[in-house]
Amino acid sequence: MGKLYESQKLALWYFTVAIVLFGAQLLFGLLAAYQYLNPDFLYGVLDFSINRMLHINAMVVWLIMGFIGGVYWFLPIETGREVVGIKLGKIAFFVLVAAVAVVVLVYLLVQTGKGDYFTLWFITEGREYIEAPRWADWGIVAVVLVFYFNVVATAFKSGKITGILGVLMIDLLALAGLYLAGMYFTPNISVDQFWWWWVVHLWVEATWEVLVGVLMAWSLMAVLGTPRKIVEAWLYLEVFLVFGTGILGLGHHYFWIGTPEYWLGIGGFFSALEPIPLVAMVVHAIYDAGSHKLKAANKPALFWIMAQAFGNFVGAGMWGFMHTLPQINLYSHGTQITPAHGHLAFFGAYVAANLTLMYIAIQGVRAPEGPALDSRAWKLAYVGFAITIFGMVGALTVAGFAQIFVERAVGGATWSAYIAGQEHPWVREPMYWRFGFGVLFLLSYVILVYDMLTIGKKAATVTEVKPA
Amino acid sequence: MNIGWLEVTVAAFVLTVISGAFLARGRNWLEPGFWKGFAIGGSLVMFILLWILTFDTLKKISMGSERVPSPTVINHKIGYEYNADRRMYVPVIGEEEPFFGKKWSEKEAYELITKGKLVIQSRNCMDCHTLLGNGAYYAPDLTKAWLDPKWETMIKPMLKVETREEAIAKWLMNTDKYPTWTRKMPNLGLSEDEAKAVVAYLKFMSAIDTNGFPDHFGKTASN
């Protein structure tokens, strides 16, 4: 093991829990996907709603843990010093893991409660993505404050606030502040959804994108040695384009929740521009990788950087644009088009970013001075993920289109129309494809974990042999 | 305040260019500092505009506004008709009708739908259904569920009750016994009060002006 900062050891803990939760996400996703094929499976024991909730909650938590890990990994490198409140940071880590464990156990064993405030505080808030009960919300806020203090204190103590650190500090503040908008009960569902989207959209389509921009900037410097000046210019351009389009792009969630008609125009226009920063990132990645002729000391990290740029553009950009205009969204809203977009965008933008960070950390631990990090298994996992994610997304897209026609356009969106849509072969059969590709996706995950446990270990022994 | 989308969009563009150019003035466009100016200017302009729009929107979607009705809407007949001026379907609030056999005062109605919303959240409805189109896709959208013809054509005869609200409430308490197709809704253990509150919420929600979503609800393409 190379010499690591304490902060980087903490990053490894975060990455470890993150990758385990990734597995949990896939497991509950598969259970939910199977229930589409066989609705009686675990009926009344572990209903679709519970599996689906765990599927998306595990995702949110593991991605955030990966991001925190990424920041803890790069922060000492950027500032040239140990993170200031590292002990506090470690305590916060255990608090977070314990809180997540309790929340998951309550989801699994208690599942639902009576319709009162006790349920919102201790069982579930019942609002998609941020179902975590209120006590856990406050726990998350406390943990995030510790993390934020560590970032800011370390940056200021080091005496050099780089452009990347400046962007990171402002972005994290916005990210944490937005979460407060989710801790709120109102009987008015339009107001409820209005603030709910502040959390969900302004996280996923604004502050997370910028956070990943920061982490990818550091990754490019680490993997390709891209000069700071170039990376920072791109980062600022990205912030400009992401916030410039994404903040009012929030309006594409305000078409149909009771909010005024002007959101149709504002939301449609700005969200249609949201792919622009994603195109810019693709250009950046191709240029950088091309100028190094696809050679780097950390092959998997380089390829996951490329996957991130393309995946973000295709998943968030193209699949998002596909249904972002109100004229289309009137019919596609709430169909399988949404999860098609969701799966590809989260995978491309955030899973790929997390895997990049993890491979960089693996190299830092196992082969900081070389040789190049490479194996056969990471390639297999990479290709496996690429094929199976498109398999799932393709199936969901076909199902979504069919649903738009059968259920919405022809059927008039009623209960019976919904059933007619779901029973139509164009919706029913893709669900089998989705499940099949889902199983293969899980297999790719198993290969990925095997690779992460083994890559770089053999290489190290090879170099020891060579001089002799 | 009457806000048009085009004015907001143009203002956002002009203000972004002006503030960005001001902050980036005197710098070469290849310098990081140039884009820093635009990043700060653009973000601030957009964020300030979002706050202005937020205040305006919250005023326009408060309960009892034109877009989101007062809870006492549950005392009225509700329809969903094509509005030729707006070129979209809009909810139509009609004459009074009893709801669970009575007229609900403003306070009673508010408490009832508050309870309904709490029940909806406590049972994770959103992780199978969509509400206003948001949620999961395993079960039908509930935005206009109160107006669904199936309550009259299938559920009411099946449960042998008089009114639509009684049919929905009774069905919600016995979902496992009255499956409507292969995907059965699980029995979520709703008490009678909870079931009534959910029905009230569905009725209230169906009267929200959702800019025409879902389009031509309850009317098939052929009629």
Domain that holds residue B36: 5-60
Q: Tell me how close the Cα of B1 comes to any Cα of chain A, in angstroms.
A: 11
Phi-psi region of B212 (alpha: psi -120 to 50; beta: other; left: phi over 0): left
A163 vs A229: CA distance, rounded Å = 9
Nearest CB neighbour to A415, from listed B148, B188, B191 = B148
The number of helices, as runs of H, and strands, as runs of E, in chain A is 20, 0
Residue B189 lies in a domain: yes
Residue B198 lies in a domain: yes
pLDDT band of residue A464 (cuts 50, 70, 90) is very low
Same domain? For B84 and B152 the reply is yes
Q: Do A269 and B5 touch (CB under 8 A)?
A: yes
Same domain? For B194 and B100 the reply is yes
Same domain? For B51 and B96 the reply is no
pTM for this model (two decimals): 0.95
B44 touching chain A per CB within 8 A:
no
pLDDT at A467: 40
Closest residue on chain A to B154 (Cα): A416
DSSP helix, strand, coil percent of chain A (3-state; round to 5):
80, 0, 20
Same domain? For B29 and B133 the reply is no
Same domain? For B10 and B78 the reply is no
B75 vs B97: CA distance, rounded Å = 6
pLDDT band of residue A290 (cuts 50, 70, 90) is confident
Same domain? For B168 and B89 the reply is yes
A108 vs A85: CA distance, rounded Å = 34
- Joined tokens for residue A159: 């005496």
Which of B23, B38, B60 is the last residue before a domain boundary? B60
pLDDT at B220: 81
Same domain? For B120 and B186 the reply is yes
Give pLDDT tens digits for B49-85.
999 999 999 999 999 999 999 999 999 999 999 999 9
Chain A and chain B share a number of CB contacts under 8 A equal to: 285
Name the E strands within chain B.
76-83, 88-96, 130-131, 134-135
Give pLDDT tens digits for B156-190.
999 999 999 999 999 999 999 999 999 999 999 99
Same domain? For B56 and B146 the reply is no
Residue B200 lies in a domain: yes
Mark which residues 415-434 of A lie under 8 Å from B by CB. 415-419, 422-423
Structural domains in chain B (count): 2
Mean pLDDT to the nearest integer, A160-181: 94
Residue B133 lies in a domain: yes
Give pLDDT tens digits for A433-459.
999 999 999 999 999 999 999 998 865
Residues of B in contact with A235 (CB under 8 A): 32
Mean pLDDT to the nearest integer, A420-432: 97
pLDDT at A267: 97
Same domain? For B35 and B89 the reply is no
Mean pLDDT to the nearest integer, B84-98: 97
Complex prediction ipTM: 0.97
Residue B215 lies in a domain: no
Task: With a cut of 60, say whether residue A296 has pLDDT above it.
Answer: yes
Average pLDDT over chain A, rounded to an integer: 94
Give pLDDT tens digits for B94-122.
999 999 999 999 999 999 999 999 999 99
Mean pLDDT to the nearest integer, A47-75: 97
pLDDT at B2: 83
A73 vs A18: CA distance, rounded Å = 14
Residue B214 lies in a domain: no
Task: With a cut of 70, say whether residue A282 has pLDDT above it.
Answer: yes
Residue B211 lies in a domain: no
Same domain? For B87 and B193 the reply is yes
Residue B219 lies in a domain: no
Task: With a cut of 60, say whether residue A466 has pLDDT above it.
Answer: no
Contact (CB, 8 A) for A151 and A168:
yes
CATH number, residue B85 = 1.10.760
Same domain? For B94 and B169 the reply is yes
pLDDT band of residue A160 (cuts 50, 70, 90) is confident
Contact (CB, 8 A) for A135 and A103:
no
Same domain? For B82 and B40 the reply is no
